[in-house]
Homo-oligomer: A and B are copies of this chain.
Amino acid sequence: MASDDQRGLHYEQTLMYGRYTQELGAYAKEEAARLREEGGWRRSVKDHSRSLELLEYDRGRCAKCRICTVRCQKFLISRVGEDWIFLILLGLFMALVSWVVDFAIAICLQAQKWMYGGLESNVFLQYLAWVTYPVVLITFSAGFTQILAPQAVGSGIPEMKTILRGVVLKEYLTFKTFVAKVIGLTCALGSGMPLGKEGPFVHIASLCAALLSKFMSLFGGIYENESRNIEMLAAACAVGVGCCFAAPIGGVLFSIEVTSTFFAVRNYWRGFFAATFSAFIFRVLAVWNRDEETITALFKTRFRLDFPFDLQELPAFAVIGIASGFGGALFVYLNRLIVQFIRKQKTINKFLMKKRLLYPALVTLLVSTLTFPPGFGQFMAGKLTQKESLVTLLDNRTWAKQGIAEGFDYIGNSQAWNHPQVNVFVTLVLFIVMKFWMSALATTIPVPCGAFMPVFVIGAAFGRLVGESMAAWFPDGIHSDGTIYPIVPGGYAVVGAAALSGAVTHTVSTAVIVFELTGQISHILPVMIAVILANAVAQSLQPSLYDSIIRIKKLPYLPELGWGHHEKYNICVEDIMIRDVMYITLNCCYRDLHDVLLTGHLKTLALLESSESMILLGSIERAQLQALLSLQLGRPRRLEYLRDRATAEKKRLSMVSHPGSEDGSQRVNQEVRFQISTEESSFSSTPTLSMKPLKPALKRPSVVDRPPDIPMPTSPQDHSGNTLKNLFCVNPETEGLEDDFDVDDDMTIREIAEWEENQLDEQVNFDNCKIDPAPFQLVERTSLHKTHTIFSLLGLDHAYVTSIGRLIGVVSLKELQKAIEGSVAVKGVKVRPPLASFRDSGTSGSSSSNSENEATELHKLWDRHKSMSLPREHLASDSDEKSQ
């Protein structure tokens, strides 16, 4: 795979997040198809060898017994193909990864504490140790990720969302990325910066699933099925969250909310199964490691069960929810602002881009300086790690009333909040404010990191603040009847944590995660109320953090249709479609094919009956056409031509009589051979060939042995002259077939060009070509709303717009994206006012039902069809559009 450098993904590694400059969905799909094909080929080879094995056994002594053994083996292997084995393996593996990462992080943090503690005599040395350690770790993490796999940077949830949408971002699911992500994440979190592990774990789990799937496909079964892989990726996302927090239910729900638009309920159990198993193993490992006596929650709370909260405390919880909503929106905004600010400042950006590791180091330096415990850190519990902060914040004692010092379980940790000169409220406020911008800043560092956990801790601190205030206000609790039930500030912390993380991620399931994390569900109603309020506020102000990153990274994701935008019902496909469709016709010659391939970029081309009728017959993949063209212009065919010519020459020399009939039979022969090769190989070999990655031209390849019975489809281009060089590069593995031909390739370049010109004028024979006879079709009057629904439901990439069977346009994800984002009329797309106005007048009187908007009077429809000119109006703007 030497073509890494020219993958054509146009991935631009910027300072913080990478950015795509070109739509890569189509390319990625082709790559995925190639992979699949490779898998299929490998399998067929394996099948072959297995049957050989069987034959060998047959010759042995106790053949029957051995056949039985082979059958058992086969059965076992077929069992391997079942979902639950895959899910168990995935869960097991992820639990191990999660535990190991946690373990490594704990050791890293301990090391820092130890260093810091050992240098108590000298504050300056202490500061140096406190600061250097995270700077080194973060810089290493950034550098390592940068070198190995830049795709591992960031959360990974936006990418997974895009992948689950159907766009295959292939480089996100490689082994390299896996290694980079795991090691980078461990180092990043080990530094003690306010970063999270949730998002990366979703990504790591998906990586695991993809790699495991690849590995399992060695054993055969259904691992080649793309839609199955998508389902498994969805389950993997659940596993990621599940094993990160030991929260199986919350994991499933969170992953659904964060990654899916439409969720197939039939996949539900996969997520639960895998996440439960993973969470189980994750906690069992803790027991096994003697950290815990038995399986309990990760951040177990001990609130009283009898009277968790009073009804009159609910307004306080609602306030937490609403404030968290604003806070969450602010966090997302701040995060985006930082990214955009640094991107905009050209000079800073340039400088930082040159010294890529400077930015992480600077940010880390700033953050760790501010948290230095003897310095400013003493006012914000700076010496606590994230986990310690959370544990103290969720404590069931009241700080304000009884003071922090007395009777704390975590003596060392509790002291951090209790500054001798400063009130605990000030500490909490400072903690919240400082951590807020620090987290927003830290998550822009190009290391593998998430934002969930920092936000969660900030939310908990905010909740604790409100709770402590309430406790100070009502020292004996609110309840008016006899018994005194003091207020539990820890419960407020739980509510705050769920609300703020819910607001940032736009999810409700953080509530469930919180219950699973704390092991108590007694505060269910306050938590639900706060989370819902926070969501309501945050969703009306900002996109979710993941959607924000999707926009920043320009990932090819279809945005949601906004609510209350009823004008979306009035926009039709005809307003947004591209009319200048690239197509090929049934009777076109190879030259047309060549031209189309040269000019267009789409990976699928429409096949029409003729350019007059414009009737859509189906669609052909670009790779298929490339294969056709290479077949026509390739070296083997040329050699054949030479051989034919030589034979004819010879014949002409030996006997000059009746050459015409000879020629005819020759042609017939050739055609018959084509037919045979079609039957045998069109389903396996042709794509294997056509999907090969494009390699730089003029690379000399090695010789591989290949069954000689299917020579035509496997023979690619070589010395393909001027024409093909534009399109193809040499395919190395399938060359060396020259030995089959006993003719010397003595054509000059000029002769070759001439021959190719002739070849190009022949009519295309589509017999060998795989045609999708059912590409997705819309009609002109399909509304934008319906189109959006269909695209997101079916995960479409593009759809043809037809009118009575005639192709009149094409809509791709890009057009749809634009239309939704409101830039319909910007360029390349023509909005037709008369029709729009007609529709408006039509719909104003009727109810807003979908079908009625699309209903039209027939005579208008029909007249338009009749008077319709050929739809290929070349709009200058269209081509601008494409070259973008």
The residues of A with any CB-CB pair to B shorter than 8 Å are: 36-37, 39-40, 43-44, 84, 222, 224-227, 248-249, 253, 256-257, 260-266, 268-269, 272-273, 276, 279-280, 283-284, 287, 293-297, 300, 302, 305-311, 479, 481, 508, 511-512, 515-516, 519-522, 524-525, 528-529, 532, 535-536, 560, 586, 607, 609, 615-618, 678, 682-684, 766-774, 777-782, 786, 789-790, 793-794, 802, 804-806, 842-843, 845-852, 854-859, 861-862
Q: Which residues of B contact A858 (CB under 8 A)?
A: 586, 607, 617-618, 766-767, 769, 771
Given the known A-B contacts A771-B855, A848-B222, A858-B767, are A296 and B308 also in contact in the complex, defined by CB atoms under 8 Å? Answer: yes
Q: Which of B266, B525, B617 contacts A862 (CB 8 A)?
A: B617
Across the interface, A311 reaches (CB within 8 A) one of B295, B777, B848, namely B295
Residues of chain B with a CB closer than 8 A to A36's CB:
847, 849
State whether A519 and B519 are in contact (beta carbons under 8 Å apart), knowing that A535-B269, A772-B854 are contacts in the complex.
no
Cα distance, A560 to B264, chains bound together (Å): 11
Task: Give every chain B residue within 8 A of A683 (Cβ-Cβ).
Answer: 842-843, 845-846, 852
Contact A256 B265 (CB under 8 A): yes
Shortest A786–chain B CB gap in Å is: 8
Contact present for A854 and B521 (CB under 8 Å): no
Contacts of A535 in B (CB 8 A): 269
State in angstroms the CA–CA spacing of A859 and B311 once bound together. 75
A307 touches which of B265, B294, B307 (Cβ 8 Å) = B294
Q: How far is the CB of A723 from chain B (nearest CB, A)?
A: 24
List residues of chain B with CB within 8 A of the CB of A262: 262-265, 793
- Pick the residue among B226, B227, B266, B852 that contacts A770 (CB under 8 A): B852
Contact of A300 among B269, B287, B305 (CB under 8 A): B305
Shortest distance from the beta carbon of A148 to any chain B beta carbon, whole Å: 31
Residue from the list B284, B311, B806 in contact with A287, Cβ < 8 A: B311
| Across the A-B interface, the 5 shortest Cβ-Cβ residue pairs | A805-B805, A770-B855, A774-B779, A683-B846, A40-B847
Select from chain B the residue with minimum beta-carbon distance to A858: B766
The 25 sampled A-B contact pairs (Cβ below 8 Å) are A225-B849, A226-B850, A249-B524, A263-B264, A272-B508, A272-B528, A294-B307, A294-B310, A294-B479, A296-B306, A297-B521, A305-B520, A615-B804, A616-B804, A683-B846, A683-B852, A684-B845, A768-B857, A771-B855, A771-B857, A773-B781, A774-B854, A777-B777, A789-B794, A790-B794
- Contacts A262-B265, A305-B519 known; list 19 others, CB within 8 Å: A36-B849, A224-B848, A226-B849, A249-B524, A260-B265, A272-B508, A287-B311, A293-B479, A294-B307, A302-B305, A520-B520, A521-B521, A618-B858, A767-B857, A769-B858, A771-B857, A773-B780, A774-B778, A804-B805
Question: Which chain B residues border A524 with CB–CB below 8 Å?
Answer: 248-249, 516, 519
The answer to whether B528 touches A249 (Cβ under 8 A) is yes
List the B residue with the shortest CB-CB distance to A224.
B847
Known: A520-B521, A781-B773. A684 touches B846 (CB 8 A): yes
A9, B153: Cα distance in complex, Å: 60
Q: Which residues of B contact A515 (CB under 8 A)?
A: 515, 521
When chains A and B are docked, how far (Å) is the Cα of A44 from the Cα of B847?
10
Q: Roughly how many angstroms separate A857 CA and B272 CA in the complex, as a whole number? A: 43
Q: How far is the CA of A778 from the CA of B776 in the complex (A)?
A: 9
Give the complex CA separation of A190 and B260 in angstroms. 43
Selected contact of A294 from candidates B225, B308, B772, B857, CB within 8 Å: B308
Q: How far is the CB of A239 from chain B (nearest CB, A)?
A: 13
Cβ A856 vs Cβ B773 within 8 A: yes
Q: How far is the CA of A276 from the CA of B771 in the complex (A)?
A: 52
- What B residues does A39 contact at CB under 8 A? 847
Question: What are the residues of chain B within 8 A of A855 when measuring CB–CB?
Answer: 770-773
Quick one: closest B residue to A782, CB to CB?
Answer: B774
List the B side residues contacting A794 at CB < 8 Å. Answer: 789-790, 793
A122 to chain B, nearest CB (A): 43
Chain B residues, Cβ within 8 Å of A309? 294-295
